[in-house]
Amino acid sequence: MDLRWTEMTQGFELWWLAMIIRCIGWNRYSWLMVTTQRRRLVIEGWAPAMDIAFR
C-alpha cells in the first residue's frame, strides 16, 4: 500500500510540475531552479497550496 501510494504521489508531482513548467514557461522555471533560495520558497509555497487544492 505504501509503495503503491508513493509511486502515485511521485507520478502526480511530476504531472503538476509539468503543468507549472507549461504555464510559467521553461526559461522562468529553469531560472527558479538555478537560485536555490527562490526554489525553496517555491517549494514551501506550492506544496501546501497543492495539498489544499487537491485534497
pLDDT tens per residue across span 1-55: 566 766 767 777 778 878 777 777 666 666 666 665 555 666 666 666 656 666 5
Q: How many residues does the chain have?
A: 55
What is the pTM for the complete model shown?
Answer: 0.31
What single-letter DSSP state applies at residue 55?
-
The C-alpha cell that represents 7 in the structure block: 509511486
The radius of gyration of the chain from alpha carbons, rounded to an integer in Å, stands at: 13
DSSP assignment letter at 35? S
CA–CA separation, 21 and 30 (whole Å) = 9
Q: How many CA atoms lie within 13 A of 46 on its CB side?
A: 11
